[in-house]
A and B are shown apart, each in its own frame.
Chain A
Amino acid sequence: MLPGVEITSERNVPKPGMTWRSGAGPILLLGALVLLVMAEPAFAQVPAGRDYGDFPVIGGRAAVWVAAQVHLLFAAFVLGVPMFAVVTEAIGMFGGDERYDKLSKEFTRLLLVAYSATAIWGGILLFLLVTIYPTLFSYLAQIFNLSMWIYVGLFFFESFTLYLYYYGWDRWKKGRAKWFHWGLGIALNVWGTIVMFIANGWLTYMMSPPADVTVDTAPQMVQLWSALTNATWMPINIHRLIANVVFGGAVVGAYAAYRFLAAKSDEERAHYDWMGYVGNMIAIGALIVLPFAGYWLGREIYEFNQQMGITMMGGFMSWLWIIQAFLIGILFLAGNYYLWVGMGRIPGAERFMPYTKYMLAVLIVGVIVWATPNTMIASREEFAAMGGTHHPFLSVLGLMSGKNTAVNFMILTTFLSFLLYRRANKEPVVPWARTGTIVQGAIFVVASAIVLFYGIYGYMVPTLVRIGFSVYQVLTVLACIIGVITIDLLMLRGATSRGEIQWGRMPQRSQYALFILAVTFTWLMGLMGFARSGIRQHWHVFEVIRDTSPWAATPALGYSSVVISACVLIFFGLVAFIFWLGSLAEKPVISSAGRASAAGGIQSELQPAPSEG
Chain B
Amino acid sequence: MNTKPWKHPLGQAAIVVVLAYVLFEWGIWLLPPLFGVASAPVPATVVLQYMGTVVVGVLIWVSDSEERWKQFKAPIHRVMVDPRQKVLRTALMVTIPLLVAFMTFDRVRPTVSAPAALRSVHPAPPGQIDFRGETMVLNGLENPLRHEGDLEEHYEEGKRIYVQNCMPCHGDALDGQGHFASAFNPAPLSFQDPGTIVQLTESFVFWRIAKGGPGLPREATPWDSAMPAWEDLLTAEEIWQVTIYLYEQTGWEPRTWEEEGAEGEEH
Residues of A that sit less than 8 Å from B by CB: 295, 298-300, 302-316, 318-319, 321-322, 326, 329-330, 333, 337, 340-341, 344, 353, 356-357, 360-361, 363-364, 367-368, 371-396, 398-400, 403, 459, 461-464, 467, 470, 507, 509, 554
Contact = CB atoms under 8 A, between A and B. Distances in A.
Given A319-B118, A462-B253, A307 B189 contact: no
B124 A463 contact: no
Given A307-B124, A333-B57, A379-B116, A467 B263 contact: yes
A303 B261 contact: yes
Interface residues of B, number: 72
Most buried by B among A315, A329, A381, A385: A315
Contacts of B177: 387
B5 interface: no
28 contacts: A306-B262, A307-B124, A315-B220, A333-B56, A333-B57, A357-B61, A360-B64, A364-B53, A364-B56, A368-B50, A368-B53, A373-B267, A374-B265, A377-B46, A377-B116, A384-B185, A386-B41, A387-B40, A387-B176, A390-B121, A390-B193, A392-B39, A400-B265, A461-B253, A462-B255, A464-B262, A470-B263, A507-B66
B17 interface: no
B198 A463 contact: yes
B113 interface: yes
A307 B118 contact: no
A337 B64 contact: yes
Interface string B1-38: 00000000000000000000000000010001000011
Contact of A309 (B37, B196, B262): B262
B201 to A, nearest CB: 8
A549 to B, nearest CB: 18
B37 A393 contact: yes
Interface in B87-134: 113-127
A321 B56 CA distance: 20
B143 interface: no
Given A383-B186, A391-B40, A393-B32, A302 B66 contact: no
A310 B264 contact: yes
Given A307-B139, A329-B53, A388-B176, A312 B264 contact: yes
A598 B240 CA distance: 74
Interface string B226-267: 000000000000000000000000001111101011111111
Residue of B38, B60, B116, B127 with most chain A CB atoms under a 10 A cut-off:
B60
B43 interface: yes
B43 A399 contact: no
A230 to B, nearest CB: 14
Contacts of A313: 263-267
B53 A371 contact: yes
Given A303-B262, A363-B57, A380-B114, 5 more contacts: A318-B266, A357-B61, A399-B194, A403-B266, A463-B255
B187 interface: yes
B16 to A, nearest CB: 10
B71 interface: no
A310 B60 CA distance: 36
Given A344-B66, A378-B117, A310 B124 contact: yes
A459 B193 CA distance: 11
Interface string B196-229: 1011000000000000000000011000000000
B39 A393 contact: yes
DSSP class of A's interface residues: helix, strand, loop or mixed? helix
A318 B187 contact: no
A307 B203 CA distance: 12
Contacts of B119: 375, 389
A394 B220 CA distance: 22
**Residue from the set A329, A330, A393 with the largest chain B CB neighbour count within 10 Å:** A393
A381 B63 CA distance: 40
Contacts of B121: 374-375, 389-390
B65 interface: yes
B151 interface: no
B56 A377 contact: no
B123 A322 contact: no
Given A378-B116, A394-B28, A299 B260 contact: yes
Given A313-B264, A462-B255, A384 B118 contact: no
Nearest to B54: A364
Contacts of A295: 263
Contacts of A470: 263
A310 B219 contact: no
A350 to B, nearest CB: 9
Contact of A381 (B28, B38, B113, B139): B113
A345 B115 CA distance: 50
Contacts of B163: none
B267 A319 contact: yes
A395 B195 contact: yes
A386 B53 contact: no
Contacts of B76: none
A381 B115 CA distance: 10
B44 interface: yes
B63 A509 contact: yes
Contact of B42 (A308, A309, A364, A391): A391
A479 B198 CA distance: 31
Contact of A302 (B45, B53, B116, B261): B261
Contacts of B45: 376-378
B262 A467 contact: yes
Contacts of B37: 393
Contacts of A309: 124, 262-264
Contacts of A393: 28, 32, 37-40
